[in-house]
Amino acid sequence: MKLREREVLEVFGTITLRQLRQWVQRGWIVPSQGEAGPVFDEVDIARIRLVCELRSDMNVNDDAVPIILTLLDQLYGLRCELRTIATALVDQRDDVLQQLRQALSARSGRRL
């Protein structure tokens, strides 16, 4: 799904063109550029929804929004890295997995 600015405004109904453009200018939303202007994909739409919820439902001010978005982006990046590691571990031999468990257990102080 790819939407233009006007279509985004129709979907949300609560934001103005000025707000949407400010969010893009501030880097909160990063749409791709089409021939007729910005084009918003599903990730952009989800992020717009999140910004709307932060600002209206949770009463988060404009200074805090980029901090929250940055933290969420970092969290998402870490989840992707952990998924990659977990996928690589599935293919390891049992003795390698046992060594890894022992090393992790020694570092955490807990039995894994």
Domains identified in the chain, total number: 1
Q: Which domain holds residue 96?
A: 5-108
pTM: 0.78
pLDDT digits (tens, 9 = 90+) for 1-38: 899 999 999 999 999 999 999 999 999 999 999 998 99
CATH code of the domain in which 83 resides: 1.10.1660.10
59: alpha, beta or left? (left if phi > 0; alpha if psi -120 to 50): left
**Helix/strand/coil for 3:** strand
User: In the structure, what pLDDT confidence band is assigned to residue 112 with cuts at 50, 70 and 90?
Assistant: low
